[in-house]
Structures are given as C-alpha cells and as structure tokens.
Amino acid sequence: MPKIYEGGFQAQGKKFAIVTSRFNDFITAKLVDGALDALVRCGCSDADIDIVKVPGAFEIPMAAKKVAEKRKHDAIICLGAVIRGATPHFEYVSGEATKGIAMVSLETGVPVIFGILTTDTIEQAIERAGTKAGNKGFSSAMDAVEMVNLTSALEDL
C-alpha cells in the first residue's frame, strides 16, 4: 500500500498572516472576511491572525517576503483583486504579483497562498468575492490550513 501524505484542516495553535491590497477594496475586504471565517472555523484563534495591508497587488510579494522572513507565521495568505482595464497595466500587475508570490514561497519554504483574483470584469470579481462563485478568500485560507498540515506531515517523509 502506498503511504499518502496530505494535509487536514486543523488550525488550532497555528499562526497565519493575511497580506492584502487596498486597490479594489470593495472586493478585497470581502476576501479578507472569507479568509477570517475559514481560519476561525478551522479552529484558529483571532489572536493568531495578523493582517498586513499594502496599496496594490504589485506590493503584495514584497510585504509577504518580509512576513515570511520573520518566521513567525505557519502560512501567509495573499489576497488581492486585479481587474482588467483598457490598457496593458493588468498584465504587468498580475504577472508580477503571481511570480513574486511563487518566488517568496519557494525561497522561504513558507506556504504562501495565491488568493489574487485576476478578472476581466468587475462582475467576475464580485462573483468570486462571496457571491455566486464562492469566496476566493475563504478557499485560499482553506488552502493555507491544508498546506500547514501537509508541511508538518512531510516532516515524517
């Protein structure tokens, strides 16, 4: 029988940081609400959650790196909303945020979750911020809890 390594959803005693952007705050605030709901439902205490706010999604990787380097959190949840406009700006911001978040996670070994909406329209972002297509903040926090538990499980590999 193969041995399977996977993470559960227990967050008691674990520490999380949420790094979120103010740009499109009417969406990102809903993502943060969703993430807090998920963490608390998994048993995390409010006191074990820190929220870091940055101006836009472009700044998320730098703040996430600072947080990861402190080694005080078991996982970092990055939440933002990049919505396409009439110029190529969207591509630059979403591309840098995506690359940067992956880099922070790989360089530090801390699970850093990509919870940044990249949508063509405001409506698509609203759908993913607690309406008909779920809440990306909630699912990102669940991903963070799973990765924290998987990281512990992999210590026995």
Closer residue to ligand INI (CB): 43 or 56: 56
SS3 131: strand
∠ CA 89-95-100, nearest 5°, is: 130
Shortest approach of ligand INI to residue 20 CB, angstroms?
9
For ligand INI, the nearest residue by Cβ is 56
Shortest approach of ligand INI to residue 90 CB, angstroms?
5
Closer residue to ligand INI (CB): 14 or 23: 23
Q: Is 73 a catalytic residue?
A: no
Closer residue to ligand INI (CB): 40 or 122: 122
What is d(CA 65, CA 104) in angstroms, rounded to the nearest whole number?
6
Shortest approach of ligand INI to residue 4 CB, angstroms?
37
| Interface positions with ligand INI (CB under 6 A) | 21, 23-24, 55-59, 80-83, 85, 89-90, 93
Shortest approach of ligand INI to residue 89 CB, angstroms?
5
R_g over Cα of the chain? 15
Tell me whether strands 16-21 and 49-54 are parallel, antiparallel or unpaired: parallel
In sign, the C-alpha dihedral spanning 28, 32, 38, 39 is: positive
In sign, the C-alpha dihedral spanning 113, 121, 29, 59 is: positive
Q: Among the options 89, 91, 95, 106, which is catalytic? A: 89
Catalytic site positions: 89
